[in-house]
């Protein structure tokens, strides 16, 4: 993984042959085709226009409707062709040429070609594009840095595009694999405009059928999929907010798979002969962000006090049931450049009280604590965690009122800075520290609507992150991101809480559902045993 973004990406031509996604395992004669897979999840999607989405529940569906130019291999952070069959760069790393897959059509029959790619990417990049202002802000285009680094996107011919950069950008190629940069049907977007988010059309393995808000999204197989028709006929994403209710429905047989079981239920799951618990280390972090635009969180000693007040070991033991580790850095230990030499702030309520007094709050203060309304990969139960934090903070004199909203409103309000303290987290889009640091902690990401919901603005951090982005030297990038971790540790805009395991529970009739280092990704290879 550490070599994925080394200088050779920018210095040699990368030529990759066309492929089909149907792996040798799926050629097995015992595989059964057809059927509907019902997947239980904790919350609904917010929208299905990938360019505008920011949450995992939306991308989870988008990843099956749309394709990107480049995608990840199963169970790996290695890249492989998708809608682009090959790509190459000039020696200076500034001009990238992509050869596009031929013979592909969107679900509505629109041909896929260079014009469609330009439409999808330039609507995000070019403020003169007629659809640039349709649908809202392009958060990922801005926060990944593409808005700043991309100069021009042009077509060379019907099946070749070029992207010219203003400066070298180390994670450029893997960034294009993020779902936000999927290619959408120009015809459908022109037809639906703002409402395209409810009528998604891509080139992906499944086609959109229906969305019953806060209940289910139904997809059906794309018979003409360029990578081979999916083995399933349909996929239903069923929204069931209560973790225990999802498990009951899985045990009853009305679900085939579910996310985010309660840790207390692990033993019951492992003892059930019909169920299988899939688990592996994830690239995620759950954290408590302190809004530095609001006193007293602009005071370093207050933020230090709060870090010393939280008993992370107890949180991991009781809320995560050991299925996670305490976090001390903003990136997970599974990601290259992680600095294990940094010492976490010890759980020390007495020291926390002294720090509060030194900050001018000897009697503490009152504030709000925002709790996640849905289970997430990095925080399985937001309300329960908020109650534990509330108790820990009360011990040092900080009285908190727990606040929550529905998932879409929660994200909207936190990214616009309405909170005092808020629980949130991140799981990786790409296997690069930039994906955590720049989106969550840069000054650029503190502009509303913000990914940096601590509204942390450090010139020192910004300088390090920009230098790390521009460097094509892997050793230099490792050193820079370790420096970024030291700056974070000194400034403490968050309480980093936990790195959780990826966990999925399936009926054993579900075959070939694979976890992925960047979260499990695709349904196209799954089949159901009758």
Strands 36-41 and 257-259: parallel
Using the 8-state DSSP alphabet, how is residue 211 labeled? E
In CATH, which of 3.40.50.720, 3.90.550.10, 3.10.105.10, 3.30.930.10 is domain 284-502?
A: 3.10.105.10
In sign, the C-alpha dihedral spanning 477, 479, 485, 491 is negative
Average pLDDT score over residue span 11-20: 36
In sign, the C-alpha dihedral spanning 260, 264, 267, 271 is negative
Find the Cα–Cα–Cα–Cα dihedral 195, 199, 201, 204, rounded to 10°: 130
Going through 192-306 in order, the beta strands assigned E by DSSP cover 206-212, 216-221, 234-239, 257-259, 275-281, 284-290
Asked if residue 218 has pLDDT above 80, the reply is yes
Q: Give ranges for CATH 3.40.190.10 in the chain.
A: 8-17+33-235+509-528
- For helices 434-441 and 459-470, angle between their N-to-C axes, nearest 10 degrees: 150
Asked if residue 464 has pLDDT above 90, the reply is yes
Contact 265, 488 (CB under 8 A): no
* Region for residue 519 given its phi and psi (left: phi exceeds 0; alpha: psi -120 to 50; beta: otherwise): left
Contact 160, 99 (CB under 8 A): yes
In sign, the C-alpha dihedral spanning 249, 252, 254, 255 is positive
Residues 6+ apart with CB under 8 A from 334: 281, 282, 283, 499, 517
Both tokens of residue 23? Answer: 């792996």
Cα–Cα distance, 425 to 377 (Å, whole number): 9
Predicted confidence band of residue 520 (pLDDT cuts 50, 70, 90)? low
pLDDT, tens only, 68-123: 999 988 777 788 999 999 999 999 999 999 999 999 999 999 999 999 999 999 99
Predicted confidence band of residue 144 (pLDDT cuts 50, 70, 90)? confident
Q: For residues 261 and 487, which has the higher predicted lDDT (pLDDT)? A: 487
Average pLDDT score over residue span 202-207: 98
Assess if CATH 3.40.190.10 describes domain 8-17+33-235+509-528: yes
CA distance to 6, 145, 252, 397, 479, per residue, from 170 (Å): 8, 11, 48, 46, 15
Cα–Cα distance, 528 to 484 (Å, whole number): 46
Both tokens of residue 139? Answer: 């958060």
Predicted confidence band of residue 22 (pLDDT cuts 50, 70, 90)? very low
Task: Give the least confident one: 116-130, 166-180, 393-407.
Answer: 166-180
DSSP string, 130-192: TTTTSSS--HHHHHTSHHHHEEEEEEEETTEEEEEESS--TTHHHHTTSGGG----HHHHHHH
Which segments of 381-433 does DSSP mark as H helices, in order? 382-395, 407-415
Q: Which residues pair with 458 in a beta bridge?
A: none
Which segments of 276-406 does DSSP mark as H helices, in order? 300-309, 312-318, 349-358, 382-395
Q: Give ranges for CATH 3.10.105.10 in the chain.
A: 284-502
pLDDT, tens only, 402-432: 999 999 999 999 999 999 999 999 988 888 9
10 burial type by CB count under 10 A (0-12 exposed, 13-18 middle, 19+ buried): buried
Predicted confidence band of residue 352 (pLDDT cuts 50, 70, 90)? very high
Angle at CA of residue 131, ends 125 and 135, nearest 5° = 95
* Region for residue 75 given its phi and psi (left: phi exceeds 0; alpha: psi -120 to 50; beta: otherwise): left
């Amino acid at each position: 993984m550490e070599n994925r973004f080394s200088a050779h990406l920018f210095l040699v031509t990368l030529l990759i042959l066309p492929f089909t996604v149907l792996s040798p395992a799926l050629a097995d004669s015992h595989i059964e085709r057809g059927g509907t897979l019902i997947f239980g999840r904790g919350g609904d999607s917010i929208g299905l226009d990938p360019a505008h989405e920011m949450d995992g529940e939306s991308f989870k569906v988008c990843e099956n409707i749309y394709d990107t130019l480049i995608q990840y291999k199963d169970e790996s952070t290695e890249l492989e062709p998708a809608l682009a069959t090959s790509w190459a760069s000039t020696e200076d790393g500034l001009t990238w040429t992509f050869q596009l897959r031929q013979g592909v059509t969107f679900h509505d029959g629109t041909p896929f070609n260079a014009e469609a790619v330009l439409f999808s990417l330039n609507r995000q990049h070019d403020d003169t594009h007629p659809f640039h202002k349709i649908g809202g802000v392009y958060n990922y285009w801005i926060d990944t840095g593409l808005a700043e680094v991309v100069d021009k996107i042009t077509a060379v011919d019907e099946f070749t595009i070029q992207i010219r950069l203003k400066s070298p950008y180390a994670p450029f190629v893997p960034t294009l694999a993020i779902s936000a940069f999927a290619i959408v049907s120009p015809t459908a977007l022109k037809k639906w405009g703002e409402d395209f988010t409810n009528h998604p059309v891509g080139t992906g393995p499944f086609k959109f059928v229906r969305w019953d808000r806060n209940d289910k999204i139904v997809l059906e197989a794309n018979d003409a999929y360029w990578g081979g028709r999916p083995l399933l006929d349909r996929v239903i994403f069923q929204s069931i907010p209560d973790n225990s209710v999802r498990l009951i429905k899985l045990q009853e047989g009305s679900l085939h798979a579910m996310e985010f079981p309660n840790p207390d239920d692990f033993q019951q799951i492992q003892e059930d002969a019909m169920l299988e618990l899939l688990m592996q280390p994830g690239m995620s972090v759950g954290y408590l962000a302190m809004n530095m635009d609001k006193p007293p969180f602009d005071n370093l000693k207050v933020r230090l006090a709060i870090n010393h007040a939280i008993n992370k070991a107890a949180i991991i033991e009781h809320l995560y049931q050991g299925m996670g580790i305490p976090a001390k850095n903003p990136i997970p230990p599974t990601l290259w450049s992680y600095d294990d030499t940094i010492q976490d702030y010890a759980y020390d309520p007495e020291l926390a009280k002294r720090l509060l007094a030194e900050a001018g709050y000897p009697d503490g203060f009152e504030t709000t604590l925002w709790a996640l309304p849905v289970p997430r990969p990095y925080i399985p139960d937001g309300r329960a965690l908020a109650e534990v934090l509330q108790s820990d903070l009360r011990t040092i004199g900080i009285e908190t009122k727990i606040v929550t909203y529905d998932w879409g409103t929660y994200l909207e309000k936190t990214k616009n800075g309405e909170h005092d303290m808020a629980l949130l987290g991140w799981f990786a889009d790409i296997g690069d520290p930039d994906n955590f640091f720049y989106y969550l902690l840069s000054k650029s990401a503190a502009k509303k609507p913000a990914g940096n919901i601590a509204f942390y603005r450090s010139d020192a951090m910004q300088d390090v992150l920009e230098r790390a982005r521009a460097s094509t030297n892997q050793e230099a990038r490792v050193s820079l991101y370790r420096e970024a971790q030291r700056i974070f540790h000194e400034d403490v805009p968050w309480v980093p809480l936990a790195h959780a395991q990826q966990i999925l529970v399936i009926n054993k009739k579900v075959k070939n559902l694979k976890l992925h280092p960047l979260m499990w990704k695709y349904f196209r290879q799954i089949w159901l045993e009758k």
